[in-house]
Structure 1
Amino acid sequence: MMRSLFTAATGMESQQITIDTISNNLANVNTTAFKRSRANFHDLLYQTLRAPGQSSTAGTVVPSGIQIGAGSKVSSVEKMFNEGAIRITNKPTDLMIEGEGFFRIQKDDGSIAYTRDGSFRIDNTGRIVTSDGFPLVPVITVPERVPHNKIHIGMDGNVSARIADQTEELGQILLANFVNPTGLDAQGRNLFGATPASGAPIVAEPNTQGFGRIGQGELEGSNVNIVEEMVNMISGQRAYEINSKVIQTGDQMLQQTNNIR
């Protein structure tokens, strides 16, 4: 009798994580280049009362066994890296990766992080940086004499500026990609870190095989689908309620057993 209580409790815990995941997705529906998460589940161990294929007393093989499950558990919460919608901004330092790849960012501790958020700015030293001041890798510096509206960034990541009817090359943006992007470590601030699960970063120029192209004056929106998240939230809520009902039913059955005279 008590088995059903513990089994339903694992279901409630699993659905709680589902709702937590959905709430984070919805909270970031307007976050630039945000990638939604999805909770995955697997069933727990089974108590085998009779193994499938076991011989019966009559010498025959039973076609099915008796195995009682112990509930469910979250197996992973993975990032979904499908591309978000395009937002046109016409700002020269707003960049979007149209396809696969990540911008490389150098953090304050010198480590390299990876992001799809291309809402860059130019700091007081002329470097192209993120909203938190982290520079692109390799560092690209815009001379003070260059107006921001004269900066041109090609689909291949080549950064140049038009100065007095002459074109000056400022640098080259390189992208990174991974064998398993879902294995990246989400660090917040739209940044990801490489892990043994993601594999080592593969660095190459944009608009080459396996890498997207750069779109200037564009930003990638969140890939959260509000309708889909709402449907998943309702489904998770109902599953949570059903599991709580199982606990109530198990409690009532125990109460009936306790009242036997």
Structure 2
Amino acid sequence: MKALGIAATGMLAQQTNVDVISNNIANANTTGFKSSRAAFQDLIYETQRREGSETSDGGTLRPTGVDIGLGVQTAGTIRLNTQGGLIPTENQLDLAIDGRGFFTVNLPDGGQAFTRDGAFQLSPEGQIVTLQGYELDPGIVLPENTVNVAVGETGTIMAYVENDPNPVDLGRITMATFVNEAGMRALGNNLLQATTASGEALQANPGEPGVGIIRQGYLESSNVNIIQQITDLISAQRAYEMNSKAISTADQMMSTTNQIR
């Protein structure tokens, strides 16, 4: 009887499902967070009778076979890159992306990561950095005595220095897009990394087709739908219970068989 092993794979799959849902719920208020869902696929099948095999000397064929599945496995966790809501903050260094793009940041090891979290701050040198202190790429340094910063929808950034009515042009914030955004690797700290599956980062300016625009004074909220997550959690719990019940039933059947004299 293979029911014990089959149901066990189902319990493991639903445990993974609950882990993914729990992470979504935990990050419901994380800036720029994208929810994920677990994807499953069936395991190989044990063929006991092949469809299309002959059933008589007259050449009749079996219309269907007998294939017994061996359970389920987790195929992957798929990140859902839908747009999150924009929350006004009135902070001039809070930037939200309205569209597909990502901000590029430079890591201490010399590599690059990508993020939707636009809660930027200033380093002691006046450079725009993330909350972990990673510099925004391309690097932008505000002049001393800057009293106001204006970031346009196309990424242009101007600084107004004290007592000077003319703004200083600091350059432009660029963004990155990917052919397969779901293939990026999550690093934590709201950072993602390019992989072979995602493809190389495609640099572009905000406002270009398929990239998105920048909204100054806003932050993007997570795209987690709490009601949907709770519903999925209940569904996963019921599926786990049913697999557990299948194990109990198989155990009872085996016990009954062992008691036959």
TM-score using structure 2 length: 0.97
The runs of at least 4 consecutive aligned structure 1 residues that moved more than 4 Å come to none
Gaps of 5+ in 2: none
Q: 1:8 is matched by which residue type in structure 2?
A: A
Aligned to 1:254, what secondary structure does the other structure show? Answer: helix
Q: Distance in 2 between matches of 1:7 and 1:91?
A: 54
RMSD over aligned Cα, in angstroms?
A: 0.8
- Are residue 53 (structure 1) and residue 55 (structure 2) matched? no
1:76 matches 2:57: no
Structure 1 Cα separation of the partners of residues 11 and 256 of structure 2: 24
Who is 2:158 aligned against? 160
Note the C-alpha offset of 1:45: 0.4
Q: What's the offset of the Cα at 1:209?
A: 1.3
CA shift for structure 1 position 144: 1.5
Aligned residues: 258
- 1:27 maps to 26
Partner secondary structure for residue 176 of structure 1? strand
Name the CA distance, whole Å, in 2 between partners of 1:139 and 1:60: 75
For 1:4 and 1:50, the matched residues in 2 are separated by 19
Greater alpha carbon shift after TM alignment, 157-166 vs 95-104: 157-166
How far off is 1:171 after superposition?
A: 1.8
Match of 2:99 in 1: 99
Find the residue that maps to 1:136 and give its secondary structure.
strand
* Local SS of the residue matching 1:100: coil
- How many Å apart are 1:82 and its aligned residue? 0.5
2:195 aligned residue: 195
Aligned mates of 1:69, 1:224 — CA distance in 2: 34
Tell me if 1:253 matches 2:248: no
Q: Aligned residues: percent identity?
A: 46
| SS of residue matched to 1:47 | strand
Q: Which position in structure 1 is the counterpart of 2:6?
A: 7
Native 8 Å contact 2:81 2:182 kept in 1: yes
Partner residue of 2:132?
A: 132
Q: Which amino acid aligns with 1:95?
A: L
Give the deviation of 1:162 after TM superposition: 2.6
TM-score, scaled to structure 1: 0.97
Post-superposition shift, 1:167? 1.8
What is the DSSP-based 3-state SS (H/G/I as helix, E as strand, rest coil) of the residue aligned with 2:243?
helix
